[in-house]
Amino acid sequence: MKRKFAILTAAIVGLSITAVTSVSSQKFYIFPQNNASALSIIANIKEVSLENDSIKVGETTHLKASFDTGVTYNAQCYSSDSSIVKVLSGSANDGWEIEGIADGTAKIIVSNGGIYEKSIDITVTKEQTLNEQSTEENVCVEPGCYMEVVSQPDKITYQIGENLDLTGLKIDVMFAPGGEMPISQIDNDWRKVIDAANPLENDYFVVDTSEFDSSKTGTYNVKISLTDEACQKWWYCSPSKISVTVLDEIVKCDVNADGKFDISDVVLLQKWLLGVSDVTLPNWKAADFYEDGKLNVLDLCMMKCKLIENSYNRDEDVFSPCETTINEEFLAYGVVITMKKQYKTNPLRIWTKEDFKNVQNINFISDATTQSSERQIIYITLIEQSKENVLKLIQEIENLNIPDIYMVRTMNFNSNSEVPI
């Protein structure tokens, strides 16, 4: 699955609105408080673009965002590092003005309603002084060429007997002609000569699948190299490779494709959603609980709940207090409540704010129970959003001693726990 899936957040809505989500369809709606009958869809962010993604200190550029149909009045734009670049002003309709502050690279992030989010990189450079320009050393650089896998195949996990399918595999080829140049220009010498090509559809590639054997389980390498013609045209390029796995059967939630579902799969998906570098999901579809072709925090929460179900083999659940601390990663400012399986009803109980008396910071409550779940699961988002308020909300709910509640957890993961939280 393509790594560029943005890191997704849970369903969080701003201070002035009340929100309702439909977890199964992954659509988010809002009710303006002054007109509870006016149901609107929160617009997803289709694309963000910059007039210039490289500016100098003191220069400005314009960022434009395009949205799907829906409301955008809660759209915000901010910088990942305001010491490098800052957002001056703007709106969803007009875009935003961006100013370079200091030398470096940062992300400009557009968020709508705290639910949908897209980002784009921007680089800020400072003007070289005459003294810096005159003293910079020139070096002689050899030509070079390398391949980069920018998108793994759609399918990298197979069952015995299935044919290899490299659909979705995309590779870039980078080439630098070399020569004499200033040290600061070495990185700029590289240029992309093949852009996101499927090697099976491009005459400059040779694909070696001889190692793959779908008749037995194992992990196999598919090797990709450039043809002699390509090497003569640019430069010799070391082969690249991708790995695919053959299993006896595909296990639900087994994202690391080791044939079983355990806590390591939850940790791997968590890291992938947080954007940890060099993290890939060999079997991402195993975690797609809602079968919508994408992974987000809702799938992670369901995966955690599934692990809990597998970890406890009791006739009745016993309340499990939350041990999350403020120093841990929070995927979103929300709370997940899992009810005891002995209290699950058909139809499911509808939980409202009235069920959580004297708890003041609840924005909205939505049900996230799947058909396969043994327990009812609900999500709660906050009005005042912060780590401190999330932990305070959990404590207040636990203090109510509601007999139905099995556990109250944040949308994060404690790597020191035996079970996900």
- Structure tokens, 308: 């809990």
pTM here? 0.35
Lowest-confidence region among 102-116, 117-131, 395-409? 117-131
pLDDT at 30 over 70: no
Lowest-confidence region among 21-30, 209-218, 266-275? 21-30
- Per residue in 161-220, pLDDT (tens digit) is 788 888 888 888 888 887 777 777 777 767 788 888 888 888 888 888 888 888 888 888
Total tally of structural domains belonging to the chain = 3
Lowest-confidence region among 30-39, 111-120, 255-264, 369-378? 30-39
What residue has token string 């070399």?
A: 178
Residues 228 and 321 in one domain: no
Domain boundary among 198, 224, 247: 247
Three-class secondary structure of residue 138 per DSSP: strand
Q: What is the pLDDT, as a whole number, of residue 160?
A: 78
Residues 405 and 334 in one domain: yes
Domain boundary among 247, 276, 295: 247
Amino acid code (one letter) for 73? Y
Spatial distance between the Cα atoms of 420 and 17, rounded to a whole number of angstroms: 31
CA angle 170, 284, 69 (to 5 degrees): 80
Average pLDDT, the chain: 79
More confident residue, 261 or 56: 56
List the CATH number of the domain containing 217.
2.60.40.10
- Structure tokens, 284: 């991402």
361, 381 Cβ separation under 8 angstroms: no
Does some domain include residue 27? no
Does some domain include residue 16? no
List the CATH number of the domain containing 324.
3.30.70
Does some domain include residue 274? no
Average the pLDDT over 291-310 and give the result.
Answer: 82
pLDDT at 63 over 90: yes
Neighbour-count burial of 298, counting CB atoms closer than 10 A to its CB (0-12 exposed, 13-18 middle, 19+ buried): buried
93, 66 Cβ separation under 8 angstroms: no
Average the pLDDT over 332-342 and give the result.
Answer: 88
Spatial distance between the Cα atoms of 245 and 60, rounded to a whole number of angstroms: 48
Residues 149 and 84 in one domain: no
Amino acid code (one letter) for 187? D
Does some domain include residue 362? yes
CA angle 160, 164, 168 (to 5 degrees): 130
User: Percent of the chain having pLDDT more than 90?
Assistant: 23
pLDDT at 47 over 60: yes
Lowest-confidence region among 15-29, 31-45, 153-167? 15-29
CA angle 245, 246, 250 (to 5 degrees): 100
Q: What is the pLDDT, as a whole number, of residue 133?
A: 52
Does some domain include residue 278? no
The pLDDT-based confidence of 73 (bands split at 50, 70, 90) is confident
Residues 242 and 143 in one domain: yes
Domain boundary among 93, 127, 161: 127
The pLDDT-based confidence of 311 (bands split at 50, 70, 90) is low
Lowest-confidence region among 219-228, 258-267, 308-317, 342-351? 308-317
Nearest alpha carbon to residue 21 among 115, 123, 162, 140:
115
> Most confidently modeled of 119-128, 181-190, 282-291?
119-128
User: Percent of the chain having pLDDT more than 70?
Assistant: 83
Domain residues for the domain of 167 are: 137-247
pLDDT at 45 over 50: yes
Amino acid code (one letter) for 124? V
Average the pLDDT over 272-279 and give the result.
Answer: 84
Residues 242 and 156 in one domain: yes
Does some domain include residue 420? no
Residues 122 and 183 in one domain: no
Q: What is the pLDDT, as a whole number, of residue 104?
A: 92
Does some domain include residue 236? yes
